[in-house]
């Protein structure tokens, strides 16, 4: 079995774990407007797309290939819109696992629409990844929930965002044979611009962004977190999608919670109060249990 896609499929979530923590810090510790943040993220993807297409022009290809790649980027942007909104209000180590539940949707949709065949151990692996991700989102309920536990309403909003990401991954996988990784990245970036930046191209959002970028420390932080790091994360992600089975690639992309947990634990003890994540014994135990389940799913995928 060719496992050349495994390294980029794990490298991408490692990078995006740092991005997730950076997202949380920017959204919760600065006064940037959410609309300004959306515009910056979308516009930076458009700028990267423009550079790629100038250096490496798009070859002649059928219009439906372009539309599928564009649609993948557009849906990805909609999913990010949901995730950023919730991330501004919730702990990053609880948001990320639910956000990474997209492998479940990808596995089901890939079997239905792409005729991918999954062995029983692959389904078990996907179940472990998704189950471990969901476990970390459960909190003790306040007079509700089963057995004293309940899921916050944002859990279901994040599931919807994860579904959008799952569909977007299928679109991008469907064009992997017709477009290079670089061209897929470029067209995806245009789609992200259309759903993230264009709706927020308002005078107040632009003024807010200019004010935010006028502080050099903030400008450097948002460039590193929202432009430079995602560039390399996207490159690895699309490389993995181009070379691996989309349902299995998506499951490995779901390992981001492992790295987010590691970063939040380190920051929680080294810089208390920097993040909003709770580090009580019960919270840590649940997060560790979730991580073990995710690691087990990843190991089963890599070894099967």
pLDDT, tens digit, for every residue of 150-199? 556 777 888 899 889 889 988 988 898 899 989 999 999 999 999 999 99
Domain coverage including residue 112: 6-303
**Tens digit of each residue's pLDDT (9 = 90 or more) over 255-266:** 787 788 788 878
Q: How far apart are CA 273 and CA 39, in angstroms?
A: 28
Confidence bin at 142 (pLDDT 50/70/90): very low
In a domain, 1, yes or no: no
Report in angstroms the alpha-carbon separations of 279 from 28, 93, 227. Answer: 18, 11, 30
pLDDT value, residue 231: 92
Among the listed ranges 5-19, 119-133, 208-222, which one has the minimum average pLDDT value? 119-133
Segments in the chain forming alpha helices (H): 6-29, 34-55, 63-87, 92-99, 102-113, 120-135, 153-174, 181-192, 203-213, 216-223, 229-243, 246-253, 256-270, 281-303
- pTM of the full structure: 0.80
User: In the predicted model, what is the mean pLDDT of the chain?
Assistant: 83
Angle, helices 92-99 vs 256-270, to 10°: value is: 180
Count structural domains, the chain: 1
In a domain, 149, yes or no: yes
In a domain, 141, yes or no: yes
Residue whose C-alpha is closest to residue 197's, from 28, 60, 78: 78
**Tens digit of each residue's pLDDT (9 = 90 or more) over 26-82:** 988 888 999 999 999 999 999 999 999 999 999 888 999 999 999 999 999 999 999
């Amino acid at each position: 079995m060719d496992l050349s896609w495994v390294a980029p499929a794990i490298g991408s979530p490692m990078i995006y774990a740092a991005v997730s923590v950076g997202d949380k810090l920017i959204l919760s510790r600065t006064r940037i407007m959410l609309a300004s943040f959306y515009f910056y993220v979308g516009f930076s993807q458009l700028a990267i797309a423009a550079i790629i297409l100038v250096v490496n022009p798009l070859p002649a290809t059928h219009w439906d290939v372009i539309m599928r790649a564009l649609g993948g980027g557009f849906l990805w942007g909609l999913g990010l819109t949901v995730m950023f909104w919730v991330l501004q209000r919730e702990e990053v180590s609880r948001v990320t696992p639910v956000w990474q539940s997209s492998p479940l949707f990808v596995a089901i949709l890939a079997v239905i629409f792409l005729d991918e065949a999954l062995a029983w151990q692959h389904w078990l692996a996907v179940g472990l990844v998704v189950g471990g991700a969901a476990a970390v989102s459960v909190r003790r309920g306040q007079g509700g929930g089963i057995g004293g536990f309940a899921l916050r309403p944002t859990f279901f909003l994040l599931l919807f965002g994860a579904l959008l990401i799952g569909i977007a991954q299928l679109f991008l996988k469907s064009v992997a044979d017709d477009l290079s990784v670089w061209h897929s990245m470029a067209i995806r970036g245009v789609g992200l611009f259309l759903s993230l930046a264009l709706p927020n191209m308002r005078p107040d959002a632009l003024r807010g962004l200019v004010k935010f970028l006028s502080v050099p420390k903030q400008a450097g932080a948002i460039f590193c977190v929202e432009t430079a790091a995602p560039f390399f994360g996207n490159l690895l992600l699309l490389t993995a999608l181009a070379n691996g089975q989309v349902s299995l690639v998506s499951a490995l992309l779901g390992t981001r919670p492992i790295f987010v947990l590691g970063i939040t634990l380190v920051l929680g003890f080294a810089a208390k109060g920097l993040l909003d994540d709770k580090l009580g014994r019960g919270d840590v135990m649940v997060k560790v249990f979730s991580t073990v389940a995710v690691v087990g799913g990843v190991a089963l995928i890599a070894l099967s």
